[in-house]
Amino acid sequence: NEGRFIPPMAKGDHSWIQNPLPASVFSKKEQACLANGIYFEARSESVRGQAAVAQVILNRVRNPTYPNSICGVVYQNDSWFNRCQFSFACDGRKKRIDSPAAYKTAQEIAMAVTAGKIFIPEVGSSTHYYAQYVHPGWARTMQKMTKIGLHIFYRTYGGGWS
């Protein structure tokens, strides 16, 4: 665990937030999956907004309810059309990086959040978010944490799916 970032635990956070990330999260493949998640979910957001999305993805890696890799989290249920964890992964559209500069920013944010150089206390142990223009039913069963840009962030009450 040496050298790996352990987020601070705030009041009401779930204990798993302090689980260390596996060392593999720094691999080229895992960082590419995180950069893809940031780019395709939040590239039009501020650095803070993009970092918040990255934090949610990494929170899921820490949470034993989800896969224990970034790629596993980002592409969980990607074969379920429009029913996966992150909409870009299963919306049926071809993924193209139209803005190399925005993708480079996503890569930098991915590494910074993974290394703990960026941590957003208001997002805390959030494992869910959605864009403000959609209204998923699950939001009623979770605690709203904060809004950053166009995304609203939530954490579960029980720590997993409870």
**Nearby residues of 10 by Cβ (< 8 Å), 6 or more positions away:** 121, 124
pLDDT of residue 77: 65
Q: Single out the residue of 71, 66, 52, 61 nearest to residue 19, CA to CA.
A: 61
pLDDT of residue 162: 39
Joined tokens for residue 79: 């074969």
Do β-strands 151-155 and 128-131 pair in parallel, antiparallel, or remain unpaired?
A: antiparallel
Joined tokens for residue 148: 């950053």
Q: Single out the residue of 58, 82, 83 nearest to residue 72, CA to CA.
A: 58
Alpha-carbon dihedral of residues 49, 95, 105, 78, nearest 10 degrees?
A: 50
pLDDT of residue 89: 65
pLDDT digits (tens, 9 = 90+) for 29-52: 999 999 999 999 999 999 999 999
CA distance linking residue 38 with residue 137, whole number of Å: 23
Which DSSP string corresponds to 64-99?
TTS-SSHHHHHTTTTTSTT-SSSGGGTSSPPP----
pTM of the full predicted structure?
0.90
pLDDT digits (tens, 9 = 90+) for 76-133: 865 555 555 767 666 666 778 899 999 999 999 999 999 999 999 999 999 999 999 9
Instruction: For the chain, list the domains and their CATH numbers.
Output: 15-123 (1.10.10.2520)
Task: Please check the confidence at residue 68 and state whether its pLDDT lies above 70.
Answer: yes
CA distance linking residue 42 with residue 44, whole number of Å: 5
CA distance linking residue 104 with residue 9, whole number of Å: 30
CA distance linking residue 14 with residue 22, whole number of Å: 18
pLDDT digits (tens, 9 = 90+) for 1-27: 445 788 888 888 889 999 999 999 999
Please tell me the least confidently modeled range out of 38-42, 66-70, 131-135, 155-159. 155-159
